[in-house]
């Protein structure tokens, strides 16, 4: 250890300072400070940076920086490495602190990405999403359409008193005493077509004792069911459902917001005795 290094080390120890404390104060790495005290200049970057380190270290210890520099014998200088300058630029700013300063930018990028992904998903899949809970509609069965169109008089049954229009989460229940229906004119089979207009409507359809559909239909929706003996329909918001039976338009099932029960049978099949239906 030479005269310069001994001076630096002795002065630091007299002040009761550790290399770590000096590093925290002047932002020069303790490894470089140790190399200055050992005069191991081969462990230091280019001489231009060593002079800067030595000047700052001497000032912090209360020494004359020019006197300290006069004891420094620089080795043969080589071209300055600009990459080292970037790594040793002072003051040292922790990477974590720089990342914290950029959090508003990352948050903005995240929000834009989420909005763009949602818009893309809506444009691509929005039309394919239909709400039909808790039931799903089975595939239509291929049943021959009757060749002869029978004339069926519209039923004159008294509708069930109107109730509030059910919401999508409304649980379908039959009333204990559905409205009676008249036995229609003799036909060999039944073909029921429905079309939803103006507003959405809830619909339950039972064909020959088998439940085929229960769910919400949007305006513009159309469907057809064919039965050999009997079709039973319960409709919420019946003023939004147009009905055609065996090619004969029957008009709307009822009024807007009205819940209506209807039953059609072929010739020789009596209507069912009204009875409570199980909860789906």
Query: pLDDT tens, 102-121?
Result: 888 989 999 999 999 988 88
Say if residue 273 is in the same domain as residue 135: yes
Domain count, the chain: 2
**Residue 116 counted as domain residue:** no
CA nearest to 190, candidates 270, 139, 263, 239: 263
Mean pLDDT of the chain: 76
Most confident range (mean pLDDT) of 40-49, 64-73, 127-136, 269-278 is: 40-49
Do 241 and 235 form a contact (C-beta atoms < 8 A)? yes
Please give the residue range of the domain that contains residue 94.
3-99
pLDDT of residue 88: 47
Backbone φ, ψ for residue 35 (5° rounding): -65, -35
Coil, strand or helix: which one is 236?
A: strand
User: pLDDT for 110-150, tens place per residue?
Assistant: 999 999 998 888 888 766 554 444 444 555 555 555 454 44
Q: Does 173 score more than 50 pLDDT?
A: no
Q: Torsions phi, psi of 223, nearest 5?
A: -160, 160
∠ CA 62-67-68 to the nearest 5 degrees?
70
The pTM (predicted TM-score) of the whole model is 0.33
The enclosing domain of 41 has a CATH number of 1.10.260.40
């Amino acid at each position: 250890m030479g005269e310069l290094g001994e001076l630096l080390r002795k002065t630091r120890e007299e002040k009761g300072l550790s290399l770590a404390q000096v590093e925290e104060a002047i932002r020069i790495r303790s490894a470089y400070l140790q190399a200055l005290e050992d005069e191991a200049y081969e462990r230091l970057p280019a001489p231009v940076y060593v002079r800067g380190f030595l000047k700052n270290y001497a000032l912090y210890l209360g020494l004359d920086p020019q006197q300290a520099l006069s004891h420094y014998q620089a080795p043969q200088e080589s071209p300055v490495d600009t990459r080292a300058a970037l790594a040793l630029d002072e003051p040292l700013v922790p990477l974590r602190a720089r990342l914290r300063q950029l959090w508003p930018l990352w948050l903005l990028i995240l929000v834009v990405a989420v909005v763009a992904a949602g818009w893309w998903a809506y444009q691509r899949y929005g039309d394919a999403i239909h709400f039909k809970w808790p039931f799903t509609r089975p595939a239509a069965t291929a049943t021959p359409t009757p060749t002869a169109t029978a004339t069926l008089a519209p039923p004159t049954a008294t509708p069930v008193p109107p109730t509030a229009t059910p919401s999508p989460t409304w649980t379908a229940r039959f009333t204990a005493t559905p409205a009676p229906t008249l036995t229609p004119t003799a036909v060999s089979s039944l073909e029921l077509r429905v079309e939803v207009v103006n507003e959405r409507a809830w619909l339950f359809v039972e064909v020959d004792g088998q439940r085929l559909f229960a769910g919400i239909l949007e305006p513009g929706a159309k469907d057809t069911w064919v039965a050999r003996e009997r079709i039973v329909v319960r409709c919420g918001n019946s003023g939004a459902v147009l009905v055609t039976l065996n090619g004969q338009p029957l008009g709307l099932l009822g009024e807007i917001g009205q819940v209506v029960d209807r039953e059609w049978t072929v010739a020789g099949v009596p209507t069912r005795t009204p009875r409570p239906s199980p909860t789906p």
